[in-house]
Chain A
Amino acid sequence: NAGVMQNPRHLVRRRGQEARLRCSPMKGHSHVYWYRQLPEEGLKFMVYLQKENIIDESGMPKERFSAEFPKEGPSILRIQQVVRGDSAAYFCASSPGGENIQYFGAGTRLSVL
């Protein structure tokens, strides 16, 4: 059973470009969470999704950021018109729900030049 898969592992974008980060949850998991981590900091919650539904997006910036978890395929975190301050590690986690142990992917490190 493969773990949570994120790709790409590293992503370099110039200011103003779009960044698309992908996350495939563990098999059988229907809950997906996205977190952002700045250097030497803990993880900050961004958004929680279940299949085709956004459950909690209270940590998501109101502009330029969006997330989806379609019926088929991976969850996507999309950042439009990236700025330098978007540079961070973005982690995806999945769970089957319930007890809420979340299993994390290896992360995507976004660098904005």
Chain B
Amino acid sequence: SQQGEEDPQALSIQEGENATMNCSYKTSINNLQWYRQNSGRGLVHLILIRSNEREKHSGRLRVTLDTSKKSSSLLITASRAADTASYFCATATQGGSEKLVFGKGTKLTVNP
């Protein structure tokens, strides 16, 4: 079954604005990760948050994790046109193998 589900499916904003994407999941996890994919390319790892962490920052990225609600959010501040990409959350299930379970992604368009 699909583990991570991102919303919105698509998001269009102006350069300089903030972008927020959400992810929900179903099972207990060891960690949750966010990846970015430019059209036709591979995935680039952005940030990992462990199940015992609530918030994490990396540059213009801020990730939160609420294990009681089984949800996470990714905030990109002061967006740039180069941030245009699809963003995926992926979970590593507690007690499972090391496989990652991906959501369908949020397609972000940042207009110059």
Say yes or no for A72: interface residue by CB 8 A criterion. no
Q: Is the CB of B30 within 8 A of A43?
A: no
Q: Contacts A42-B88, A42-B103, A100-B31: A55 and B97 contacting too (C-beta < 8 A)?
A: yes
Say yes or no for B100: interface residue by CB 8 A criterion. yes
Bound complex: CA A42 to CA B43 (Å): 11
Q: Is the CB of A100 within 8 A of B88?
A: no
Give the residue name and chain of the A residue nearest to B104 (CB).
Answer: A42
Q: Is the CB of A42 within 8 A of B45?
A: no
Say yes or no for B33: interface residue by CB 8 A criterion. yes
Interface residues of A in 20-72 (CB under 8 A from B): 31, 33, 35, 40-45, 48, 55-56, 58-59
Q: Is the CB of B97 within 8 A of A48?
A: yes
A25 CB to nearest B CB, Å: 13
Bound complex: CA A102 to CA B52 (Å): 20
Write out the residue numbers on chain B whose beta carbons fall within 8 Å of the beta carbon of A107: 41-42
Q: Is the CB of B42 within 8 A of A91?
A: yes
Q: Contacts A100-B30, A100-B31, A100-B92: A43 and B99 contacting too (C-beta < 8 A)?
A: no
Write out the residue numbers on chain A whose beta carbons fall within 8 Å of the beta carbon of B102: 35, 42-45
Q: What mask results when residues 1 to 15 of chain B are scored 1 for a CB within 8 Å of chain A, else 0?
A: 010100000000000
Number of A-B residue pairs, CB cutoff 8 Å, is 68
Say yes or no for A8: interface residue by CB 8 A criterion. no
Interface residues of B in 53-102 (CB under 8 A from A): 88, 90, 92, 97-102
Q: Contacts A91-B42, A101-B33, A104-B43: A59 and B99 contacting too (C-beta < 8 A)?
A: yes
Additional A-B contact list (12), CB under 8 Å, known A33-B100, A55-B98, A59-B99: A4-B42, A40-B104, A45-B99, A45-B102, A48-B98, A91-B43, A99-B48, A100-B31, A101-B33, A101-B48, A104-B42, A106-B41
| Residues of B bordering A, CB below 8 Å | 2, 4, 30-31, 33, 35, 41-45, 48, 88, 90, 92, 97-105
